[in-house]
Amino acid sequence: MRYLSLDEITEDMVLARPVFGNDGRILLSNGVKLSKTYLERLKQMDYNYLYVYLPDEKQMDFTAPLSDQTTGEAIQSVKDSFIKATKRQHLDLNQVNKVIDYILDEILANPTVLFNIMDLKNHNNYCYLHSVNVCIVSTLIGRNLGLARDKLKELAVGALLHDLGMVCIDPEILAKPGRLTEKEMDNVKEHSKYGFDLLRSMRQLSVLSAHTAYQHHEREDGSGYPKGLTGKDIHLYGKIVAVADSYDAMTSQRVYKKAIWSHEAIEKLKKESPEKYDPEVVEALTGAAAIYPVGSVVMLSTGEQAVVVDISTKKITVQFSSGSRINAFYELETDSPIRIERRLS
Ligand SMILES: [Fe+2]
């Protein structure tokens, strides 16, 4: 299985992970042969990356934090929440609570699960899939920091809806392809305050979930917004979502910027801590997100190349793609004689 950009995918490959539409429904299921028509359509729809099997490659599943069904329901729930918020209606909190419970059930049932890159986004569903990714990564970070389930729930709700306030920003500014003027940027920056107001108006929600949305752009040295709070005044949930949000944004391809690899994003976040990000939270991210996600091609210390086929906090399973052991599997654990030297693609 490979994680490839659409330009590298050819007609003889098979889809390995489903493609979700912006309503959470599966547009293309895994196992589908990527015909010319599908590929053209996906290109038109502006998808960037897909998980695929190479021709004649054995199909196998890998461990993911969420089932496809829960991922779809989470996307749907974010979309419904954004539509309701646009109309200034109350969110369907039963739906949000139900989906957060599923997310927590699935993540907590598998204590060694890691987040793989899921940049299967296009411009239409970016916001919804990004929100779901930020929720998954934040929950995994919270798990690693030892938060109890009730706390994880407050965090996960705030993370899923962290950008809800975007519905209050002028859509023309959000759709603008080029650089924003300072005034437009100031307007966009107001989304965290708007998000807080929207979430705070729903009394059944924890005030801490609302504060999570409020603080997700604050930075440790006071250079963030809206308040310019410094580390000691930023709530742990705000610090966690700041890291998860930046991580998913860095590893996502956008019209105006290229995606960077997971290990590069983690290095960047480490470099920017403690100034911008809380080092403990960044450290917890390294046990939450796969440094070499499933589908990456890596160079091993033996000189052989291999593809990462599964990953957990305990081990990385690779399949050799060169050398005499080609196609054989190998489990890399901390004390294994073989190491990953670097990522090749
Ligand atoms: Fe934001």
Q: What is the pLDDT averaged over residues 291-314? A: 92
Q: End-to-end alpha-carbon separation of the chain, Å? A: 12
Q: How many residues does the chain have?
A: 345
Dist. CA 53 → ligand 1 center (Å)? 34
The burial of 153, by beta-carbon neighbours within 10 Å (0-12 exposed, 13-18 middle, 19 or more buried), is given as: buried
Dist. CA 249 → ligand 1 center (Å)? 10
Give me the long-range contacts of 302-305 (CB less than 8 A, separation at least 24). 302/338, 305/344
Dist. CA 244 → ligand 1 center (Å)? 11
Dist. CA 25 → ligand 1 center (Å)? 25
The token pair at 336 is 């294994």
Q: What is the pLDDT averaged over residues 24-50? A: 89
The token pair at 43 is 């290109």
Dist. CA 26 → ligand 1 center (Å)? 26
pLDDT digits (tens, 9 = 90+) for 202-235: 989 999 999 999 999 999 999 999 999 999 999 9
Dist. CA 160 → ligand 1 center (Å)? 11
Q: 146: pLDDT confidence band, cut at 50, 70 and 90? A: very high
Higher pLDDT, 4 or 305: 305
In the predicted structure, residue 308 carries a pLDDT above the cut 80: yes
* Helix (H) or strand (E) run with residue 93 in it: helix 93-108
For residues 150 and 326, the answer to whether their CB atoms sit within 8 Å is no
Would you call 296 helix, strand, or coil by DSSP?
A: coil
What is the model's pLDDT at position 118? 62
Instruction: Give dist(CA 113, CA 111) in Å, integer.
Output: 6
In the predicted structure, residue 23 carries a pLDDT above the cut 90: no
pLDDT cut 90: percent of the chain above it = 74
- Directed axis angle between helix 68-86 and helix 93-108, to 10°? 150
Higher pLDDT, 115 or 99: 99
In the predicted structure, residue 197 carries a pLDDT above the cut 80: yes
In the predicted structure, residue 329 carries a pLDDT above the cut 80: yes
Q: For the chain, give me the number of helices (H) and strands (E)?
A: 12, 10
What is the model's pLDDT at position 58? 82
Dist. CA 168 → ligand 1 center (Å)? 12
Dist. CA 188 → ligand 1 center (Å)? 9
For residues 49 and 253, the answer to whether their CB atoms sit within 8 Å is yes
Dist. CA 104 → ligand 1 center (Å)? 23
Per-domain boundaries in the chain: 2-53, 68-286, 297-343
**Distance set, CA 43 to CA 2, 214, 267 (Å):** 18, 36, 31
Dist. CA 251 → ligand 1 center (Å)? 15
For residues 68 and 21, the answer to whether their CB atoms sit within 8 Å is no
Dist. CA 52 → ligand 1 center (Å)? 31
CATH fold label, 68-286: Hypothetical protein af1432 (1.10.3210)
Dist. CA 91 → ligand 1 center (Å)? 19
All residues at 6 or more sequence positions from 324 whose CB lies less than 8 Å from its CB, including other chains: none
Dist. CA 181 → ligand 1 center (Å)? 18
Q: 5: pLDDT confidence band, cut at 50, 70 and 90? A: confident
Dist. CA 215 → ligand 1 center (Å)? 9
Q: 119: pLDDT confidence band, cut at 50, 70 and 90? A: low
Dist. CA 16 → ligand 1 center (Å)? 30
CATH number of the domain located at residue range(s) 2-53 in this protein: 3.90.105
pLDDT digits (tens, 9 = 90+) for 265-274: 999 999 999 9
For residues 133 and 118, the answer to whether their CB atoms sit within 8 Å is yes
Q: What is the pLDDT averaged over residues 24-49? A: 89
Dist. CA 70 → ligand 1 center (Å)? 23
Average pLDDT, the chain: 92
In the predicted structure, residue 261 carries a pLDDT above the cut 80: yes
**Most confident stretch, 2-6, 24-28, 59-63, 267-271:** 267-271
